[in-house]
Amino acid sequence: MANVAVIGSQWGDEGKGKIVDWLSERADVIVRFQGGHNAGHTLVIDGKVYKLSLLPSGVVRPGKLSVIGNGVVVDPTALLSEIAQIRSQGVDVTPDSLKVAENAALILPVHQRLDELREDANRGIKIGTTRRGMGPAYEDKVGRRAIRVADLYDPEALDQKIETLLTHHNALQRGHGRDEFDAQELKDYLLGLADQILPYAAPVWQVLFDARKAGKRILFEGAQGTMLDVDHGTYPFVTSSNTMAGQAAEGSGMGPDAIDYVLGITKAYTTRVGEGPFPTELLDDIGQRLGERGHEFGTVTGRSRRCGWFDAVMVRQAIRTGGITGIALTKLDVLDGFEELKVCVGYELNGERLDYFPSSMSGQAGVKPIYEVMEGWSESTDGARSWVDLPAQAVKYVRRIEELIDAPVALLSTSPERDDTILVHDPFDD
């Protein structure tokens, strides 16, 4: 039985939440392996909407084990708030159904304030972060001054760790002309949450090892998308973590041989939130139409998403760097009613044609899309659950995308509803 990693192949917001929820029926364990509560997944189940940020999407399914891996940065307040919200919707979340890695780093108020200060600064590049402290928390993790979940077990040892953390952060606060953080207040904050967080804490690597040994199916759930990867994305307009399938192993404490199939969630057009290059962006009525029909607003921030045509060059690059086996194509129904559709099949930069997205800021900002025009369709694909329900031109569009990105479509989503999904190939049967 295969273990599957699900990642985004664009700039996030591809519809991973629905696909992970749909796949979780076949899985026993669902693992978040990077990011934090800056991610946003919306699930629609029997007309009921669940908005998740930090919790794995499988948490809404009874009988599944949800895991937050060590690659995630955890805001303890946000986690407890999300658990309370999901419980209020009738979902039972307990220490038996949710495990949080003991070695996961915590997001603290110091991180959120620093994130805000940087975004509000008049100098430097504005990244367009969610202001939730992800970047500063990952910086502290790499700088070896982070406070981790396991540190809450030992209140006495916290003093030295807090001193090390605040030596760094208070210098930054002074540099911005802001008040310093008080060590005792931070300690009181942490100890006040410890009794609520620690029941969920566990050596996740051991939990997953045991699950794999017992023949359990494991589903690894990524956040954001490949083009937001800190190494392979549109740097510096990226998130602060590695978003690709390789991080599923590192961010959960398993070896890379634990991943048998990589499913890239891919929207039938392209969207992006925040700053950064976007070659196929449409700043016209068509872009507005895509946004309105696709309800393109961020689950976490509520910000409108920038919209554009499908970029096959970018997705093909994501497939190659991310080791994607097949894709789940989402939101095909949003394209219903367009007389013609465009797909980016190459870039032009300084008079030359490129078949990849360059790494330099100037190159990424300067590329111009080369389009292939396709005939649209007037019939509805909304709610289609088999190929025969799709218009001929919609099928042709999907097949052309497969050719351009050099990867097969394994699943096709035609609405936000869980069961409006066409299964071409079950990743768990790979």
**Alpha carbons 60 and 22: distance in angstroms, whole number:** 11
Is residue 13 part of the annotated active site? The answer reads yes
Give the pairing type, strands 310-311 and 326-330.
unpaired
CA dihedral of 15, 235, 255, 427, whole degrees rounded to 10: 30
Cβ-contact 222, 34 below 8 angstroms: yes
Question: Is the backbone of residue 63 left (phi > 0), alpha (psi -120 to 50) or beta?
Answer: left
**Phi, psi of 422, deg, nearest 5:** -100, 120
**Alpha carbons 5 and 22: distance in angstroms, whole number:** 14
**Alpha carbons 45 and 336: distance in angstroms, whole number:** 23
Closest to 24 in 3D by CA, of 308, 384, 427, 325: 427
Cβ-contact 35, 248 below 8 angstroms: no
Give the Cβ contact number of residue 29 at 10 Å: 23
Closest to 235 in 3D by CA, of 358, 385, 419: 358
**Alpha carbons 128 and 275: distance in angstroms, whole number:** 5
Tokens for 42, please give them: 């919306």
Burial string for 295-330 (b: 16+ CB within 10 Å, else e) reads ebebebbeeebbbbbbbbbbbbbbbebbbbbbbbbb
Is residue 111 part of the annotated active site? The answer reads no
Cβ-contact 263, 18 below 8 angstroms: no
Residue 3: CA atoms inside 13 Å, Cβ hemisphere, count?
Answer: 26
The one catalytic residue among 37, 41, 169, 232: 41
* Encoded amino acid at 400, one letter: R
**Alpha carbons 406 and 384: distance in angstroms, whole number:** 24
Cβ-contact 343, 315 below 8 angstroms: no
CA angle 83, 89, 91 (to 5 degrees): 60
Q: List residues with catalytic annotation.
A: 13, 41
